[in-house]
């Protein structure tokens, strides 16, 4: 009876553990396949790709007791993306000046566009972030895409990283000619308006008070000659200022047409 009880207890404990291990292994295999399909590469060090999907809200402790998240890879990927896109635009538009190239690059590396691309790539399923955060309403996906670019660079080097960015991101998700014709850098447009009309333009940006566990948000106010004309919100200071500038340009347009 006692022996039967021990065997029964052992099965009761081991079976759920085996199920958990099986599920973990299956998810690991699916993630590997996702990375391979998304990048077109066979990962060398899969751990670096896993790190690219860990948002700071869900960071974990590594073997060296230090916290791990994707911020360092994001920093690296941001630099790689900017350099690769700059080179592609330089070669694609040989007759355009520096101002055009700079503006077009800023539209491509725009956080909103990167978020959209990451969503279309299916990255949302794999991002590890605090459950209270709705990642579709934050810059988390765009950050993870930059971190993925950084991971490819660390794992495979610059040339492979460049090919990944051009083939799997730019060519698949971005119409360069369309982006080149579209000017959505509202902050730059507002500053240019101020220069044209000889009026000072500045932004007042502050972090919005939020509940614990929610993603930080920012409020920006655009002031002309010291008078606040429009404001906007965003999940980064840059996004908030862009929204504030856009709303201000609308107000200015309404005043000019009335």
Q: Which residues are catalytic?
A: 78, 146
Q: Write the DSSP symbol of residue 254.
A: H
d(CA 144, CA 53): 6
Is 208 strand, coil or helix? Answer: coil
* Tokens standing for residue 116: 């959209």
Positive or negative torsion for Cα 102, 104, 108, 110: positive
Among the listed residues 230, 236, 245, the one whose alpha carbon sits nearest the alpha carbon of residue 208: 236
Among the listed residues 106, 187, 173, the one whose alpha carbon sits nearest the alpha carbon of residue 145: 173
d(CA 223, CA 231): 9
The residues pairing with 222 across neighbouring beta strands, listed in sequence order, are: 203, 230
Q: Which residue has the tokens 């939020």?
A: 210
């Amino acid at each position: 009876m006692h022996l039967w009880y021990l065997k029964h207890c052992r099965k009761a404990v081991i079976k759920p553990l085996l199920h958990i291990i099986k599920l973990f292994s299956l998810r690991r295999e699916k993630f590997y396949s996702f990375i391979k399909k998304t990048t077109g590469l066979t990962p060398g060090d899969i751990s670096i790709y896993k790190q690219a999907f860990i948002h700071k809200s869900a960071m974990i402790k590594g073997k060296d007791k230090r916290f791990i998240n994707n911020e360092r890879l994001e920093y690296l990927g941001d630099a790689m993306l900017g350099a690769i896109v700059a080179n592609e635009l330089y070669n694609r538009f040989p007759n355009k000046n520096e101002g055009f190239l700079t503006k077009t690059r800023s539209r491509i590396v725009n956080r909103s566009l990167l978020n959209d691309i990451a969503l279309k790539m299916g990255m949302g399923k794999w991002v590890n972030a605090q459950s209270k955060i709705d990642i579709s309403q934050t810059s988390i996906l765009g950050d993870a895409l930059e971190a993925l670019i950084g991971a490819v660079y660390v794992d495979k080097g610059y040339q492979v990283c460049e090919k990944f960015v051009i083939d799997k991101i730019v060519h698949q998700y971005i119409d360069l000619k369309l982006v080149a014709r579209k000017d959505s850098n509202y902050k730059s447009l507002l500053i240019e308006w101020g220069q044209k009309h000889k009026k000072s333009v500045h932004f007042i940006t502050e972090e919005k008070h939020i509940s614990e566990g929610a993603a930080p948000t920012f409020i920006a106010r655009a002031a002309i000659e010291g008078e606040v004309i429009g404001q906007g919100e965003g999940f980064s200071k840059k996004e908030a200022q862009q929204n504030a500038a856009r709303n201000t340009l609308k107000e200015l347009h309404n005043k000019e047409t009335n």
